[in-house]
Amino acid sequence: MTRGLWNRETVALMLIAAYLPLALFWLWSGGADAVARLGLAALVIGVWHLVFMLARAQAPSLAALVSALAIAMLAPEELGVLRMVLGISFGVVMGELVFGGWGRNVVNPATIALSFLGFGFPAFDWPVFDPQVAWAAIPAIVIGVATGVMPGALFAGAILTGLVAYAGGVLGGPVILMAGIVLVLLVADPVTSAATTLGRWIHGALYTALVALFASGWAGAAPVQIAVAAALLASLAAPLLDEAALAIWLAKRRRRHGRT
């Protein structure tokens, strides 16, 4: 029988293609250290996928590479191998694999791993990126939205709110750059972001609003820390936003048809 294109692994490949410019710029500016971090993250996630394939007959996914990239880029620096392995294992197993693998998870595994590492080991410094790495997030957004694997409405909501916050003087330069990278890597995940158009607009706006709130009120926090915390809270709110958007849609239909 004839078959189309958009199965789970095609979407994972498209996401990898979208992240490629960002990853290359980061590896280029980070050098051997960055390569080692990415390799470690990919290895640990790969082992856990293998374990769940053998134990639970759960097909592994190429989306593991996306999580690996996000964790390697955003995790606090000089943590050491043991802490990295611990954090990545917690995030990937508890955030994704126990739910049935990529596509059935409710929170992005990279967000979980980063929160675990960042808040569990607060003594270590969060990474800082060159501006050109942050600029490479723009082609990622363009590729992701053009191929339809990233939610366009979410970016629209986030960027509009960001512009308002910038104009109001709440958001500054470095925080905006970090927030952009985290927006692409963690918030725009197609699986765990909001699933309705209205929900996506609000999800994006909520993320930027949280970033602005933390940036103005959280003394001593690193830009990446602010963005990751905002991403975690926004993604926990995503199901609620969807529920609200569905309720509005249903109410509209009920008014129009007298039934749903």
Partner 1 sequence: MTFAGTGAGLALDFPSPPMGSAIDEVVTEEAGVRPPRGASLHVTPLVSEGEVVAKGAALACLRHAPDICFAAPIAGRVARLDLLPGRKLSEIVLFRENEDAVEHHDTSRAGTAAGVRHLMQVAGFWPRIRRRPFGGMPSQSEQPSAIIVMAIDTRPFAPDPRRAIKGQAEVFDRGLAALAELTDGPVHVICAEDDPVRIAPGLGGGRVRVARCGRRHPQGSAGIRIHDLCPAALDTPVWDLGAEDVAALGALVESGELPMTRLVNIAGAALREARIVRTHPGADLRQLTQRYVERGPHVLMSGSPLDGHMAHWLAPRHRQITVLPREAVPDKPHWLIAALTRASRANPVIPTAALDQALAAAMPAIPFIRALSASDDETAMKLGVLSLLEEDLALADYVLSQSGQLTADLRGMLDRIETEYAA
Catalog residues that contact partner 1 under the rule CB under 8 A.
1-12, 53, 56-60, 100-104, 147-149, 151-153, 190-191, 195-197, 242, 245-246, 249-250, 253, 257, 259-260
When the beta carbons of 52 and 129 are compared against partner 1, the nearer one is 52
How many other C-beta atoms are found inside a 10 Å radius of the C-beta of residue 16?
16
Segments of 130-245 assigned E as strands: none
What is the rounded CA–CA span in Å between residue 60 and residue 147?
23
Q: How far is the CB of 210 from partner 1 (least distance, A)?
A: 22
CA dihedral in degrees (201, 94, 43, 104; nearest 10)? Answer: -50
When the beta carbons of 89 and 197 are compared against partner 1, the nearer one is 197
First to last CA, the chain: 34
Instruction: Kindly state the tokens that stand for 208.
Output: 């930027």
Q: How far is the CB of 211 from partner 1 (least distance, A)?
A: 24
When the beta carbons of 53 and 93 are compared against partner 1, the nearer one is 53
What is the rounded CA–CA span in Å between residue 66 and residue 54?
22
When the beta carbons of 13 and 213 are compared against partner 1, the nearer one is 13
Q: Which amino acid is at 215?
A: A
Q: How far is the CB of 260 from partner 1 (least distance, A)?
A: 5
Q: How far is the CB of 12 from partner 1 (least distance, A)?
A: 8
When the beta carbons of 24 and 250 are compared against partner 1, the nearer one is 250
What is the rounded CA–CA span in Å between residue 111 and residue 245?
24
What is the rounded CA–CA span in Å between residue 85 and residue 20?
24
When the beta carbons of 24 and 252 are compared against partner 1, the nearer one is 252
Segments of 122-219 assigned E as strands: none
Q: Which amino acid is at 51?
A: V
Query: Among residues 6, 18, 7, 8, which one has the least CA distance to residue 145?
Result: 18
Q: How far is the CB of 192 from partner 1 (least distance, A)?
A: 10
Longest dimension (CA), the chain: 63
Q: How far is the CB of 64 from partner 1 (least distance, A)?
A: 12
Instruction: Kindly state the tokens that stand for 56.
Output: 């639970």
When the beta carbons of 43 and 250 are compared against partner 1, the nearer one is 250
Q: How far is the CB of 3 from partner 1 (least distance, A)?
A: 5
